[in-house]
Chain A
Amino acid sequence: MGVKGYIMQLQPFSVNDGEGIRTNIFMAGCPLRCRWCSNPEGFMQKEVIGWYRRRCIGCGACASVCPQGIGIDMDSACIAGHSGLTGHEMCIACSACVKVCPENARTRMVTIMDAEDIIHEIHRHRVFYSYSGGGVTFTGGEATMQPEFLDYLSHELYGMGYSLAIESCGYFDFEQVRESLERMDLIFMDLKHMDPAEHQKYTGVSNEKILDNIQKLATLGTTGSGSESKRGSSGLEIKSEGKEGPEIVIRIPVIGGVNNSEENIAASAAFVHEYLPHARMELLPYHRLGAVKYEAIGKPFDQDDFYTLDAEEMDRLREIVREQGVSLADYR
């Protein structure tokens, strides 16, 4: 009996979430409901089958094997007569259709995976991690939503010598995942808005817990108060007394119309500077590349209110971060 968890995807050859060539483990389930989310299939810890309409050739193989009587079009009501329920709602994620679809139009978007299978997939690419300085990044969804699974995987992979990173929304019980976080070389944590009300409005939760957790990051891996410098002014590493803490990058997904005001960016950077003087920040432009996933799971894509800042505007905001004394990270 192995340890299992909900996985959206293992993405080998990920290059923007930490150093080098990495495998991203997208873990399902998220406590936030960011309105700009590009991975909506990862909201819940629930198996999900998606339907990519544009790949479908209409052969009907899926419909012929579906025990729920769902037709080709998962968005319409089922022929079996369950009035009002769409194929998505009726689906029990048995994967019978996925196995027969010749075009991968039906795909598993969230599955239950065995930890050993995940580790096996990660092993395959170890030579690429070695040469590139890469490793494994836990992301999601929200990786901390499956704390035991995260603990097991990070414990095993850490023991095997892989370099680990995590990308988190910051909304979790810190003590519950502290040990997992200690195993990381790099932690990305989001700071989506400094204003609690705005944060609540766009993500469904207030930012208090997140701000609190960002402050707690300073307590990782150090014996003292976290004031010990990891890097000296020369940029060379200075060994602190205890185990060194992970590198920290606070990320702002810059959503035009939500959090792109200079005041908000300045306030965010000031907060980071105050509580995590050695952390860096990374500003990521909003994108709409998740639209096709909304289509696949039959959810409306409602992001017309948001816009993407152009490169110059992004650079101006980055300058504001720098002015607050915070250096920038860049994994592009």
Chain B
Amino acid sequence: MAITERVEKIRENYVNTKPHISYERAWSWTKSFQRTEGQPHLIRTAQAFYDTCCELPVNIWEGELIVGTSGEYRKCAILTPEFGWLWINDEIDTFPERGQDPYDVTPEQTEFIRKNIFPYWKGRSVEEAFLARTSEATKKIGVDTGFLDTDSKWRNGIGEISADYVDVLLPKGYGGIRREAEAYMADLDETIPEEKAKIEFYKSMVLIADGMTTLGRRYSAKAAEMAETEADPQRKKELEEIADVCSRIPEQPPETFREAVQFVWFVQLGGIIAENPLAWNPGRFDQYMYPYYKADEEAGIIDYDTALELVECLWLKYSEWAWTISKNTASFFAGYTNFENLTIGGRKVDGSDATNTVSYMAIQATRECMTHQPTLSCRIHPDCPPEFMEAVTELVSTGCGFPAIHGDRTGYQMLSNLGYKPEDARDWNNCGCVVPHSRKTFEWTSAASISFAAALEFALNQGRSRLSGEQVSLPEKDPKTFASMDEIIEAWKKQFRYLVRHGVISLVTAQEIHKEIGHRPFMSACNEYCMKNGKDLVDGGAKYNIGPVFTGVGLSVTANSLAVIKKLVFEDKVTTLAEIIDAIDNNWEGYEQLRELALACPKYGNDDDYVDSIARDLADFFYEEVTQYDDLYGNHFVTAFMGISNYLPTGKVLGATPEGRHAKDPINEGVSPYTGSDTSTCLAALRSAAKMNHDIHSGGTLLNLRLNHDLVATRRGRANLGAMLQSYFALGGFHVQFNTISNEVLADAQLHPEKYRSLLVRVAGYSAQFTNLSREMQDSIMARNAHTEF
């Protein structure tokens, strides 16, 4: 079945339109805050949400079945100055023209924002509070450095929440949430301070519920108004249906699949208005949507194609919202990516297979719409049905990069290690990119980015940045005088500990600020235990309060570098540490032969224990070091190896490294091998990565590998891919994403073979490294690929 004309039109608009900045949300929010000076911050936030829901422009766009937008533009990007506005003020004039992720914004809008919105927030934003409370030492190493970064927790809304559709939202509706809050309030005594605080919380719940109810009714009224003047009878009927659905949704629980889809979108929109959040996850969509589909299908009121069209409309809504981010952040998260992570597959809480028709519908919607959202993730368990694996690998073979594929058992172990009960751990969903998460949880899942390679640079450069020469970290002795591997590793640990300390200080500071002025009543309303406990998320209301996550970057670069020093200096004795230091000080210029020797040393990603064991030791140390600290709530910090494109900016700030990398070149993400250094097979790379003890890094681990498209072009090839996935998960791996290779990449590989040493292509009945092939053969393979492109 092909995509419908309606969806195609929406899709074309999505593909061809630049997102437009809207200040409407920020303006409503600002006006509301001006009216509520002196009230508790939690109430002010909930009131601002309510006021915004009453004022936000209401538009229903051409062809839409699922409605609701965060501003007056169809592809809309909104502002949240209460978190941070300094960077917006600095950059807004360049929004339309910047290279990565531009937004349209008119000069009139810019002037309005500068005149009416920013002045109120001056001195009141989370960002300013953070900078005011942070020491120079911390700033030097941990603010906008690329060595250690925590700014996603004090410049933007937090996000990183999975809405609880199962126990809260769908069964209750916002009307139910309001009634529940009122019932709790009725039993509380305002003379008791603790109960007084709870009353405030429940008042905030009522405001949130009323805001959402109002939003739905405004869309209902708008649709009814449009239906009256609509000439096309077909569209008129659709508008009447929208008016009907939104007259009940989201106040009342949905009763049909169609209502449920609209409900899910309203919840998503509410979260966007509340925080403009990153990683605001729809969660296990196939699990909570299937009952509606099944009931409707049995009752004969929906068929597969009709349901699919609604799901595709939802996919486009997820994608039309654009996250508003700084130029620098855009270099980390290129492509307007906001990580609305939607999980399918896996097992049910009772342990049986969870896949259903909606799981396949989600895959089909992603394949047909080719939208960048939702971030489609799947859970693969050992007894995964072959049809599901086939659908997953088929989607991989389109080269779209979806779904992100996760091992069910490792996800379960990661949560178990954090103290989750089995029934909650089994129900895990993905958050953001590759974080095992739960709808019962409050956790800063991407709190600090910490560079293993920066610690190595400081260890081998007396605590100074190699590029700037500035003393940013702890002093260390002259690197040329290190006498053993142990001494070097100790020096790395000392510097790494220092980075961790400042990360902890930064994040606890940010937590304190959020506890004061970062209340999250909207997100708290999506969380079962906040309601039960009468506490906002920032006050620890959730069932599971998990410590902030440190994401390690540059693991393989660091392990490879240590392996080079170990082998060339201390074992083979073919060079000295002094010479290596001179070489990287000179960015390898004049040391080409030494660089060749360094490049020839064992590299992580080839199933070679010589270097893989170093990587594992570093990763284990990371875990031990980070988890010994407790956060503001008394929960230990957590480790992860994720990070999407942060290997680019974190590489840009570093000098050359001993394993042969040049200054400013990228480092590596997650547990992935350094680009081009996994020169054996894909299987060896999987085995190397699986040696990292994934289960202890409960914030998630990420592995990206490239595969030639040809390898997955046949059903048999895709079956083998499925087997590789199951093998990786059996070995203990958590996540892997296979990028199939386009001819564009192959052309670049011809120009820069040194970057593509590990690029595998299928030759004739086997696979070989592309760069090992002659030019003509490369050309012939590219010609072949052109025939197999989908």
Contact = CB atoms under 8 A, between A and B. Distances in A.
B716 interface: yes
A14 B772 contact: no
B782 to A, nearest CB: 14
Given A124-B607, A331-B716, A291 B683 contact: no
B720 A132 contact: yes
A258 B776 CA distance: 24
B727 A55 contact: no
Given A52-B772, A102-B596, A332-B714, A131 B730 contact: yes
B567 to A, nearest CB: 13
A70 interface: no
A80 to B, nearest CB: 25
B766 A16 contact: yes
A57 B771 CA distance: 14
A287 B777 CA distance: 10
Contact of B681 (A12, A134, A289): A12
A55 B772 CA distance: 8
A288 B779 CA distance: 13
A52 B773 CA distance: 10
Best-surrounded residue of B687, B764, B777, B780 (most CB of chain A within 10 A): B764
A291 B763 CA distance: 12
Contact of A54 (B711, B765, B774): B774
A124 B716 CA distance: 23
Contacts of B720: 15, 20-21, 132, 134
B732 to A, nearest CB: 11
Interface string A269-293: 0000000000000001001110110
A21 B765 contact: no
A132 B726 CA distance: 9
B719 A16 contact: no
B731 A12 contact: no
Interface string A126-159: 0110111110000000000000000000000000
A291 B597 contact: no
A11 interface: yes
B593 A59 contact: yes
A12 B683 contact: yes
Contact of B764 (A38, A102, A131, A133): A38
Contact of A128 (B593, B597, B724): B724
A18 to B, nearest CB: 10
A12 B723 contact: no
Interface string A307-326: 00000000000000000000
Nearest to B711: A15
Contacts of B682: 13
A132 B771 CA distance: 28
Contacts of B716: 15, 330-332
A128 B766 contact: no
Main secondary structure of the interface of A (DSSP, over half): loop
Nearest to B787: A311
Contacts of A57: 596
B681 A13 contact: yes
Interface in B734-790: 762-767, 771-777, 780
Contacts of A130: 727
A21 B774 contact: no
A103 B764 CA distance: 24
Contact of A127 (B596, B714, B730, B773): B730
B599 interface: yes
A125 interface: yes
A68 to B, nearest CB: 23
Contacts of B722: 131
A17 interface: yes
Interface in B554-576: none
14 contacts: A12-B684, A14-B767, A15-B716, A15-B765, A21-B724, A54-B775, A59-B593, A130-B727, A131-B723, A131-B727, A132-B723, A287-B764, A288-B777, A292-B773
Interface of B: 593, 596-597, 599-600, 607, 680-684, 687, 711, 714, 716-717, 719-720, 722-724, 726-727, 730-731, 762-767, 771-777, 780
Interface of A: 11-17, 20-21, 24, 38, 52, 54-55, 57, 59, 102-103, 124-125, 127-128, 130-134, 284, 287-289, 291-292, 295, 330-332
Given A12-B683, A128-B724, 12 more contacts: A12-B681, A13-B681, A15-B720, A15-B762, A15-B767, A21-B683, A103-B596, A124-B607, A133-B723, A292-B774, A331-B765, A332-B714
